[in-house]
Structure 1
């Protein structure tokens, strides 16, 4: 039997479905992964025009926030001279503000300035590696990091480059892009849709049969549930993101080094936590919080989730399998 999660503040669909409404699907590639959108369209809707609009939204996020693209706004900021101030596009500035708030709340477990460490460990634009860097290299990269070094001029929507800071939005921009596509669909008068980028999702409204957008929560390889039980969540005004140590990693000397870097130490997070799934109204927040909780680990992560009312599911490895720990906000959604 499947477990079911339902938003605590479940509301009626925003717009009644037309009798002749139809489901349309689009998909493609972006940000080094794939994306897909499912939406309920009236017969008069232009599916081709909507596809172009979605692609424009995704291209816009890349142009502003990708550190893999040399001429993006983020890349230009990363190369800027020490002490210089830079006006950022509204979306990029909003993501930076949010990232710094998550960094502040988590005590630096999430740090958008950890780009040099991500590159050093081979998980950014720099070449991949199959052996860990030296302690001296880690110490040198850490000197370039520090979210608290970044000053903002909120009125002018500017950020100061303190010198050598390399912002990396990989743990938040994908979630923002999901939100941005959802907002675009709403603006087109499409009130019933499901957006997914690289496994992160946000749903609005319902399907033509009146049922919500049911999504099975991601689980690490090797997780066995009784009778193939799945945990299904109704993404009705809700987003989901999962951070896990099984996605990108390399093995060296009998040890696995996963892509989630602890900015406080400079090394990949090293504890028994296999994955963290976060449910939140905003996919951007679910994205960043799942990373922060992964770095914090099972105990500190659960304490942080309790204190901030975060709906989170922690899967912790042990010799005989996995243990699951649910935050109160997550457990409250169980039907």
Structure 2
């Protein structure tokens, strides 16, 4: 079965007459990126490869928790009680991530890097190293208490200062939002270069604008987590972005227990709520990225309720295991159901 998701608003601007497809690709953020765009036949686009790579390099230089010399890395190492000036983009992304943290009751918190690291999903002490040992309940409780104490004093001072207080013990981790922002940044760059018809992708997260040379939208299939399903859900990526979070991407197993890479900051534990994946469709990929993570942590019931309150187009796929038999059930928010072409 093939189902189609359409945007509520469709631009009537056609692709350039005689437009041709141009492709660009590279590596960033520990993954790959790609761009496909429509250009007028005579348009020079050779400079775009370097320009696109520079956009993502700038995101890494500011917001990567893997790079010790990034602005984020310097904030994490800053002395307690010190104020750290943040680049405008970093400040805006962190502000948005904190807004999502508040709206989700702390289900997706950019300040919870200590918990992510504790479970071996950060840049050091990785879960896939032979000497990794899962944290004890006592270690988790101590880390949560330290985070709660520091979090009360975490302050952002808006423009013109654009600075953040390091109260001591805060380790920022923007992995739930920076990749989506990177997608948006590629889109903004292309528009600044006069390119209005494109699809951009970073690590599986996408944003599209305009149409292909034949006038068709950029069609993408939503990620399928049920290997036995012939159901296909396709999206017209026209003025929209899409991001998916799930427990099937990165995880480790110990004594028959599966530990997903997504950590619930409220409990300090990897999620174990039965959600296989959550997909969010939004005008901004940064928002789709952050909200897909928050809804995944909240679980199907609370996540769907929050999606309804926020007016989010969200798809939840829940996995149920009964005596070794695995079934998958889909739940759609009202806003996403309204986009289905039925």
* TM-score interval, smaller chain: over 0.9
Whether the 8 Å CA contact 1:120–1:126 is kept in 2: the answer is no
Q: Is residue 150 from structure 1 mapped to residue 148 from structure 2 by the alignment?
A: no
Change (3 A) 1:10 1:148: farther
Runs of 4+ in 1 over 6 A off after TM superposition: none
Q: Does 1:231 align with 2:236?
A: no
Cα distance in structure 2, aligned partners of 1:103 and 1:77 = 19
SS of the residue 2:147 aligns to: coil
Superposition CA RMSD, Å:
1.2
Tell me the distance in 2 between the aligned counterparts of 1:145 and 1:37. Answer: 39
1:333 match: 339
1:148: how far off? 4.6
**Distance change >3 Å, CA 323–CA 47, structure 1 → 2:** same
Contact 2:281 2:314 in 1 (8 A): yes
- How far apart in 1 are the matches of 2:98 and 2:258? 29
| TM-score using structure 2 length | 0.94
Residue in 2 that maps onto 1:123: 121
Structure 1 residues 148 and 198: alpha-carbon distance in aligned structure 2, compared to 1, 3 A threshold: farther
Say which of 236, 242, 245 aligns to 2:244: 242
Matching residue of 2:220: 215
The question of 1:195 aligning with 2:200 is answered yes
1:127 shift after superposition? 2.5
- What SS does the corresponding residue of 1:113 show, helix, strand or coil? coil
1:223/1:325 Cα in 2 relative to 1: closer, same or farther (>3 Å)?
farther
CA distance in 2, matches of 1:148, 1:9: 41
Is the CA contact (8 Å cut-off) linking 2:5 and 2:235 kept in structure 1?
A: yes
Secondary structure at the aligned position of 1:101 is classed as helix
Alignment of 1:69-80 (within 5 A): 69-80=67-78
Residues 251-279 of structure 1 deviation map (CA, whole Å, 9 limit, x = unaligned) = 01111000000000000011111110000
Give me the whole-angstrom Cα distance separating, in 2, the residues matched to 1:240 and 1:148.
33
Distance 1:273 1:132 in 2: 22
Other-structure match for 1:313: 315
1:20 is the counterpart of 2:18: yes
Cα distance in 1 for residues equivalent to 2:57 and 2:70: 11
Structure 1 segment 53-132 matched on structure 2, within 5 A = 53-129=51-127, 131-132=133-134
Shift of 1:21: 1.2
CA deviation string 1:260-318 (max 9, x = no partner): 00000000011111110000000000000000000000110011011111110000012
Match of 2:28 among 27, 30, 40: 30
Unaligned stretches of 5+ in structure 2?
A: none
Secondary structure, aligned partner of 1:186: helix
Q: How many pairs does the alignment contain? A: 330
Uncovered stretches (5+) of structure 1, i.e. residues with no partner? none
Determine the C-alpha separation between the residues in 1 that align with 2:285 and 2:315: 16
* Residues 144 and 195 (structure 1), Cα distance of their counterparts in 2 relative to 1, 3 Å cut: farther
Q: CA deviation at 1:87?
A: 1.3
- Residue 190 of structure 2 aligns with which residue? 185
Deviations 1:204-230 (A, max 9, x none): 00000101110000122x3432xx331
Tell me how far apart the structure 1 counterparts of residues 249 and 78 of structure 2 sit (CA, whole Å): 32
Name the TM-score, length of structure 1 as normaliser.
0.96
Mapped contact 2:3–2:234 kept (Cα < 8 A): yes
CA distance in 2, matches of 1:329, 1:279: 10
Structure 2: distance between partners of 1:185 and 1:232: 24
CA contact (8 A) 2:209 2:237 kept: yes
